[in-house]
Chain A
């Protein structure tokens, strides 16, 4: 009688459903492609729906997948709250739900798969330290204080800095993830610090502002590292103005989502939160 527990009895091939917030954005297209590739590797069938950034479309896509009685649903919610009723429906139907990149505010989710900001901050800090030769004066431009991205990226960065006793963190100031504020704050820091070797900013907007401030002040030889790999920042890396920026790996998010769903369906234990590694973009 106990054998009714469905996941353990499922044989080799499964059907998975993937609902993406929008396929109008290259980031999510890459995420979908990663998932498609991984499902081919597992010999699983993947049904993909595009919610077109519309919570109502997302809800009907989820309903369709529940009707189809897929083995698991992977969802990249358009809205953390609006997706909750759909997740509850899947819970009632006994279909396990996984969230990718963006989480949900409620319902039972087996596992959330998203970027590892802490590891990204550490990676950026290590690279910055290596670029300035392991010693010197470094500035940190903090995001909006208290946000999870600022907290995680900052903690990773500080962890990396702790490995380099010869590096001095001379200033750590809030630029609020904003280009304008990043520029103003860095102008002020330039006044106070005659010597700066490196700058890590919690996002690219602030680092682009800081680069503009350094250029206007004629200060050269500062190594800048940003986060997010937005278009302007990737251009700045190519132009040699920005040493590096940390990029998310959407394809990896998709493939790790499928991998873990399959693992779970085979009865293996998986953690409730799986961080996806980030990648450093350099010249």
Chain B
């Protein structure tokens, strides 16, 4: 509820300061821009639900889209390129998840390692150069329209819908939440905890790859430096959305709203032409203020603090 209020408040403020903010075109623009980080953040929500974190999402995005891009340029059909990207993403995530789940290494360390490894591999793979110029079919995830809605938004909504069903109405979702709430108890009930944990990281990797395909379509280029910093954007959105680092509790809808808040802030900064030096300050303060408000009004970890 508080998130809806923050969004309404931000929109109201921006409309007063610059009436052009509240045009259908600009709102679609914000949604489209938010959808890439949004897909990544939805995967991150699941990872944080099992008490994990995935710092490798940006690097995985870059590596998977580069491999798909070079395959398509070598003559692989576009749909094959898409599946290849998703497979690379799932493998990167699956490796991280496997090391976390079976070897017991903390996710922060494992995914930090994957972050460097995948980024390095992406740079090595192309010698640092971008790959550009693709057929329209391969780019449709980034540039297409379905009726009056840009495809990136449709992708975001579909990912949301599928994950919502999985998390709320499937055995998988139930198991994930119980692992996040209490992994030891989950073990005790005979659940295959490592397998579920691995599946969550693989899902996050696959969604990063999907986000990479949308980005590739938008830019008409796959770049080894793509997605740098996305891990922070995604984590910030998840935390804004009220998901707890202690696991088990959180909603996808909260993450969607977190992503939208970040998107609206960026759009507002550009539209109001705020000095670039203030940009990070503004962004940081909005996150801090929203979390403080969230804590005061209950629901978040801060709300349960004795202070």
Q: A: which residues have CB within 8 A of B? A: 142, 145-146, 170-174, 178-180, 183-185, 187-189, 191-192, 208-209, 212, 216, 231-232
Contacts and interface: CB of A to CB of B under 8 A. Distances in A.
Contacts of A172: 273, 275-276
A188 B267 contact: yes
A56 B46 CA distance: 46
A168 to B, nearest CB: 12
Contacts of A192: 18, 20, 270-273
B230 to A, nearest CB: 9
Q: Is the interface of B mostly helix, strand, loop or mixed?
A: helix
B132 interface: yes
A184 B266 contact: yes
A250 B228 CA distance: 29
Contacts of B29: 187-188, 191
A184 B129 CA distance: 21
Contacts of A208: 219, 221
Contacts of B266: 184, 188
B105 to A, nearest CB: 31
Given A185-B270, A188-B267, 15 more contacts: A171-B270, A172-B273, A172-B275, A178-B225, A179-B219, A179-B221, A183-B218, A184-B266, A188-B29, A188-B266, A191-B23, A191-B271, A192-B18, A192-B270, A232-B132
Contact of B130 (A142, A184, A232): A232
Contacts of A187: 29, 33
A178 B230 CA distance: 13
Contacts, number: 71
B129 to A, nearest CB: 8
A94 B266 CA distance: 55
Contacts of B20: 191-192
Nearest to B271: A192
A171 B271 CA distance: 8
A191 B25 contact: yes
A173 B220 contact: no
Given A192-B18, A192-B20, A212 B218 contact: yes
Contacts of A185: 270
Given A142-B276, A232-B130, A189 B270 contact: yes
> Closest 3 interchain pairs by CB?
A188-B270, A174-B276, A192-B271
Interface of B: 18, 20-21, 23, 25-26, 29, 33, 129-130, 132, 143, 215, 218-221, 223, 225-228, 266-267, 269-273, 275-277, 279
Report which residue of B269, B272, B273 has the largest number of chain A beta carbons within 10 angstroms of its beta carbon: B273
Contacts of B143: 216
Contacts of A146: 277
Contacts of A232: 130, 132, 221
17 contacts: A171-B273, A172-B276, A173-B270, A174-B276, A178-B225, A179-B219, A179-B221, A180-B218, A180-B219, A180-B223, A185-B270, A188-B266, A192-B18, A208-B219, A208-B221, A209-B219, A216-B143
A189 B23 CA distance: 14
Contacts of B33: 184, 187-188
Contacts of A174: 276, 279
B77 to A, nearest CB: 24
A173 B276 contact: yes
Contacts of B223: 179-180
Given A145-B279, A232-B132, A180 B270 contact: no
A120 B129 CA distance: 24
Contacts of B218: 180, 183, 212
A27 to B, nearest CB: 13
Contacts of B225: 178
Contacts of A184: 33, 266
B254 to A, nearest CB: 23
Nearest to B28: A191
Contacts of B221: 179, 208, 232
A179 B216 CA distance: 11
A184 B270 CA distance: 9
A127 B226 CA distance: 30
B18 A212 contact: no
